[in-house]
Structure 1
Amino acid sequence: MSITLGTPPMNVLAIADTGSDLTWVQCKPCQQCYKENGPLFDKTQSSTYKSVPCESRNCNALSTNERGCDEAKNVCKYRSPVSFPGTVFGCGYDNGGTFDETGSGIIGLGGGQLSLISQLGSSISNKFSYCLSHKSATVNGTSVINLGTNSIPSGLNEASHVISTPLVEKEPKTYYYLTLEAISVGKTKIPYTGTSYYPNNDDVSMKGNIIIDSGTTLTLLESGFYDGFGAAVEGAVTGAKRVSDPQGLLSHCFKSGSAEIGLPEITMHFTGADVKLSPLNAFVKVSEDMVCMSMIPTTEVAIYGNFAQMDFLVGYDLETRTVSFQRMDCTNTI
């Protein structure tokens, strides 16, 4: 729609958008703007233009992730989507794998030098977090990723229910290694026996024996440990009997008759962080009367997958080398 701004009035053509609140136009001096056919609005040529103070009602009406402040000049600033110029990315011409039609490629969040996180580095204070919504798997839900200093809760304490565990330095640097010490099924604590799949020459201990991965769905646990762990889960499930997965993918499935299936609480004991999983984290409903564990055995690298991470704010601080967990409803963090 065509509007005029300023005194004297300047004609501007802008998009009428029922999905936006703030009205904005490109203005001089423009640090980074898209190409525009018409002239840019010049505030110095308008006698009625004035800035908005940082603590004004209008400035505070911006959402926290949009609001900024030039404290030296006491001028309210707003933020729009951020661009990252000079970023290295790949163009794939011959691709395969277990991808569906929804996406187009991968955003690399790993620890290697080519990842987006490593390339942004100090500009995001080497910090990022995400909150994966369980509803995004079934409806048009949305999950959130946060980059920068404010992406991780400050005060790791019991009051805020934030817990953290050390990241272990190992090769390859792409992976984020954690140390899983045990898993509890109800009140039965089972020590984890898996060792690191990529041990350092001088480290054959339990440190760094599992990687946390937002791009893997299931949790994969060392097969020797899994036998006893699976038996403990089977013994703790009520109102259902053990059956085989019709698709042959999941290891431990349980089918009920008429009773409601009772599922045990599963707790992941990482170094310094006991992460209590909900049934949504540890089990997946495959039909009205059947659930399966979303954890399977592996003879390769152990992986803490994204089902187990749903409805947690998972924060990565690559300066302090820690990963933090805070339970929350990720559908309400948008």
Structure 2
Amino acid sequence: MVSISFSPLCTLCLVVVFLTKALAFGFTADLIHRDSPQSPFYNPLSTKMDRLNNAIKRSFSRAAHLKQSLSQSHSPNTIQSEIIPDSGEYLMKLSIGTPPVETLGIADTGSDLTWTQCNPCRRCYKQKAPLFNPKNSSTYRELSCQSQPCQDISRDNPSACHNNICHYDLTYGDRSYSTGTIATETFTLGSTSSRPVSVPKMIFGCGHHSGGTFNNFSTGIIGLGGGSFSLVSQLGVGKFSYCLSGFFGNETDVTINKINFGDNAAMVSGSGVVVSTPIIPNEISTFYFLTLKSIMVGNKTLTHKTKMKSSNCDNNATADYEQQAGNIIIDSGTTLTLLPSHLYRNLESQLRKTIKSKPSEDPQGLLGLCYSDTNIDLPNITFKFTGAELELPPMNTFVQRGKLVCLGMVPSDDIAIFGNLNQINVLIGYDLVKKQLSFMPTDCRKINN
């Protein structure tokens, strides 16, 4: 988990100056999967199974950190960054300063904080790109302790102020860390459909001391969470959307995913039907909580219901988990979907009855339900959220691991996550104003090209 004293940055690479952060327009930027040939993380020697196994392991690691973050309550004036160093699945470019310096950050819907390494760096992890040097930018401004944002933070985090300069202090669950200065700067956002756009006075973290397991290709993190200091909130665009293509298939497929902000995030592309479900408010505003009611396999409904301790004063009281609003997180940085153990067991049991083939064991023990016949008929699986049903074909719910085809979902007693495998070929829109998340099944390659 990450506790910090304040933050966020922004993204990409552009040039039209706006006098306000309330950007009444839309723009679209590239969203690069870390294992695609367009990514600096790409290893041409890795096999498809290598990349899938690594993504599965990152899912487990990320879930552990998200669980740790959710297990603690936080002040609304404290920004959290739950991303695990080197764990993000998607990357975005951004340029900082005047003149703009391009950086590459991990785009994360489970994080608010955006930060980058800066000179002077007393102790930093090695990165391929040059460090951002604030002295070379005419628009860099440190936030003083008297600034309203720093005063808000300091009420709960007295250590946020040093020598009349606002600071942040990040500690990640794996003991990686980043500390530095809170400042404002101009961010140049690179759009794929219009001229570059420069946005002044964006609040971000300028890191002067960081280390741990960060990858040297990444210069920091881009926060796309629901908190007030995330990229989306600071831009004032109110909404964003993305459409993810498959990322473990044909390596010659050079499709780059797109992320849309503001007016460009309207759910109008493609030919699918749009369904929407509420984003449930939570004291941890970073995450996007949804309410999963049930899962359907064929015409068999598996109710998301279990007995668990109630939050009221009666320690012996129980409540139906199905009735708890906000019982699952949608997350772009987790590949697998994690389901409560009772629901997963029911799902696996129903799939075993439905699929006319004998299951095989995963030799690596990573996934629970596998089959050695990759040509078997697999059923669609429907997720029923409040007000929205999303029917997913097998390519969204099963993964091919060598000679096996396995269910891309795992049981979890602590946290439920709707991962990005389930989001492939679904246009997903986040409306932070209406507190609503929308799904529209479509061919993302057509939208992204």
Shorter-chain TM band: 0.5 to 0.7
Indicate the residue corresponding to 2:437 in structure 1: 323
Q: Give 1:331 shift.
A: 1.3
Matches within 5 A, 1:1-334: 66=193, 79-91=194-206, 93-96=209-212, 103-121=218-236, 124=237, 126-135=238-247, 139=251, 140-153=254-267, 161-193=273-305, 205-238=323-356, 240-256=357-373, 260-287=375-402, 289-334=403-448
- The one-letter code of the counterpart of 2:347 is F
Q: Give 1:141 shift.
A: 2.7
- The one-letter code of the counterpart of 2:278 is P
* CA deviation map 1:91-128 (0-9, x unaligned): 5543445x76664443211111221112112xx1x010
* CA deviation map 1:128-155 (0-9, x unaligned): 0011111476533311100002312269
**Maintained 8 Å contact 2:272/2:442:** no
| Cα distance in 1, alignment partners of residues 306 and 327 from structure 2 | 6
- The one-letter code of the counterpart of 1:253 is C
- CA RMSD of superposed structures (Å): 3.4
**Maintained 8 Å contact 1:217/1:306:** yes
- The one-letter code of the counterpart of 2:350 is A
**Bigger CA radius of gyration:** 1
- TM-score w.r.t. the length of structure 1 is 0.67
| Cα distance in 2, alignment partners of residues 277 and 237 from structure 1 | 16
**Maintained 8 Å contact 1:197/1:209:** no
- Cα 1:268–1:119, aligned 2, differ >3 Å: closer, same or farther? same
> Which stretch has the larger CA shift, 208-217 or 189-198?
189-198
Percent of pairs identical after alignment?
Answer: 41
**Maintained 8 Å contact 2:18/2:200:** no
Structure 2: runs of 5 or more not aligned: 1-14, 20-96, 101-190, 314-318
- TM-score w.r.t. the length of structure 2 is 0.51
Secondary structure (helix, strand or coil) at the match of 2:281 reads coil
**Maintained 8 Å contact 2:379/2:393:** no
- Cα 1:30–1:291, aligned 2, differ >3 Å: closer, same or farther? closer
* CA deviation map 1:32-85 (0-9, x unaligned): 9859xxxxxxxxxxxxxxxxxxxxxxxxxxxx974xxxxxxxxxxxx3122333
- The one-letter code of the counterpart of 2:367 is L
Indicate the residue corresponding to 1:20 in structure 2: none
Q: Give 1:303 shift.
A: 0.4
**Maintained 8 Å contact 1:162/1:325:** yes
- Cα 1:145–1:285, aligned 2, differ >3 Å: closer, same or farther? same
